[in-house]
Structure 1
């Protein structure tokens, strides 16, 4: 199974913000949308960075005044991405090795979606259950 299959079920909409938006506003969007990360893009939909709840917590450790700064000051600028052709196992490996839970999907240097660890685990469980059902059916007919 590939990332394309996940995106066909969940959709390709991604919440994005500009790099000059305040951290406080990003926190409001994360809470309002009930999401764990937000992608920072330029006007041409190129990825500049990503900000997760973890990044916000680290910023707050410096004091509440950090909320007034731009999101570009706390974003992860070297964003690991995938394409919709990557397999679930490849994506799980990237997430595990990088210790992050959100992976933007890129096509032609443009943001084309995002997958979370929850999306990937759900797809993998469905895949394993389907394979188990196929094995049961095969054994029953043997």
Structure 2
């Protein structure tokens, strides 16, 4: 199972934000869309970073309510891990576990091509395990 398979089933729409927007605007976007992270992109669609709920909480912890006036570029994770469509689910799980994050942008030629979450990965692994179990049951029943 690959990242491409996940994107083919869930879609490739990605919520993005400009690095010059305020943290308050970013928090509003996350709340409005019911998501945990937003990809920060430049005008050309190039990935500049990622901003998660965790990043916002840390900024608020450091600077209080004044943090909400800061630009996203000051709070985002700039050195964002990325994956490609060819990555396997197991590879992505290792990347997310090692980095201790829940969202991973998918890139193609440096531009955003999708995003996957740990929830997407776990869902696919469960589906895969259920399919394998059913195949084993069928094999045993017909043997």
Which structure 1 segments of 5+ residues have no match? none
Whole-Å Cα distance in 2 between the matches of residues 83 and 131 of structure 1? 26
* Residues matched between the structures, number: 142
- What is the distance in 2 between the residues matched to 1:28 and 1:2? 32
**In the alignment, which residue of structure 1 is the partner of 2:37?**
37
Classify the secondary structure of the residue corresponding to 1:140. helix
Q: How does 1:1-142 map to 2 (within 5 A)?
A: 1-61=1-61, 62-142=63-143
Q: Per-residue CA shift, 1:104-126, capped at 9, x if unaligned?
A: 00111110000000000001000
The offset of 1:141, in angstroms, is 1.4
Aligned-pair CA distance for 1:134:
0.4
Measure, in 2, the Cα distance between the counterparts of 1:71 and 1:109.
20
Aligned residue for 1:77, secondary structure, equals: coil
Rounded to whole Å, the distance in 2 between the matches of 1:47 and 1:115 is 15
Spell out structure 1 runs of 4+ moving beyond 6 A.
none
Alpha-carbon distance in structure 2 between the residues aligned to 1:131 and 1:83: 26
- Distance in structure 2 (CA, Å) of the matches to 1:103 and 1:69: 24
Partners of 2:43 and 2:69 in 1: how far apart?
22
Unaligned runs of 5+ in 2: none
User: For 1:84 and 1:123, how far apart are their aligned partners in 2?
Assistant: 15
